[in-house]
Amino acid sequence: MDFAEARRRMVDGQVRPNRVTDPRILEAMRAVPRELFVPAPLRARALADEDIALGGGRVMLQPMTVARLIQLGLPRPGERVLVLASGTGYGAALIAHGGAEVVAVENEPAIAALGDEGIAASGLRPGSLRRVAGDPAAGLPDGAPYDLILVEGAVPAVPAALPAQLAEGGRLVAIRRAPGEAGSAILGRRAAGSFSAVPQFNAQTSLLPAFSPRPGFALV
C-alpha cells in the first residue's frame, strides 16, 4: 500500500471537505505517517474516516476530528502547547510539525509506546515534542503557563486545574460531552484571570477514562 498517496487522499477526501483550511495542518497530515501511530494490524485502517480503537476504552481520533480540533486551537510556531490524553502521540506530532513546542501527557504507557515508530518517522525538529507520563486530568503545572491546551478526546467537563495552567490569552480545546448528551468541540480562553468556554461544532468520540469524575475532582 502506498501510504503517502493514501494520506494525500485522506487530506483531500476527508479533511479539506470538512472545513479544515490551515495549510500547516494539511501539510502536517500529508507528512506525518498516521499509519505508524496504530498497532501494526490496524495500519490499513488508520487513514479511514473513523476512530481507531486502541483498547481500554481509548481511541485514536478520526482524521477530520483531530484536524478540526487543532485548527480550532490555532497553534502558532514557537507557542508552548500541552496535549493531554495524547494517546499514541499523533495529534501532538501534527502540532509539533507546524512549529510549536509541544508537551504530550499520557497515562497509559502501552498506548504511548504505540507511537514510538511514528514519532521517529515524522521528521520533527529535535526537542519540539516531549512526552511525559502522568495524569492528563491534572495537566502539567510544573511546565505552565501554556499558550494552548488540547485535550485529545471527550470529557464530561473541563477539570478546574487546567485553565489555571493557561497563559493570559491562552486557549483550551476539548470535546465536551455530558452523559446522555451529544458532544461538541469547545474553545476556552483565559482572560483577566477568568476562563470561559464556548461550543464550536458537533463532535463525537469516546469519553476519556482519565477524566471520569472522582472524589475531590472539580469540574468547570
3-210 folds as Rossmann fold (3.40.50)
Length of the chain: 220
Cα–Cα distance measured from residue 147 to residue 73, given in angstroms and rounded to the nearest whole number:
10
Domain range annotation of the chain = 3-210
Reading the block at residue 140, the C-alpha cell is 502539567
What lies within 8 Å, CB to CB, of 123 at 6+ separation is 31, 97
pLDDT digits (tens, 9 = 90+) for 96-154: 999 999 999 999 999 999 999 999 999 999 999 999 999 999 999 999 999 999 999 99
Q: What is the pTM of this model?
A: 0.95
* Cα angle 95-137-114, degrees, rounded to a multiple of 5: 50
Longest dimension (CA), the chain: 52
pLDDT digits (tens, 9 = 90+) for 146-199: 999 999 999 999 999 999 999 999 999 999 998 778 899 999 999 998 999 999
Minimal CA–CA distance to 204: which of 62, 97, 11, 17? Answer: 62
Cα-to-chain-centroid distance, residue 172: 11
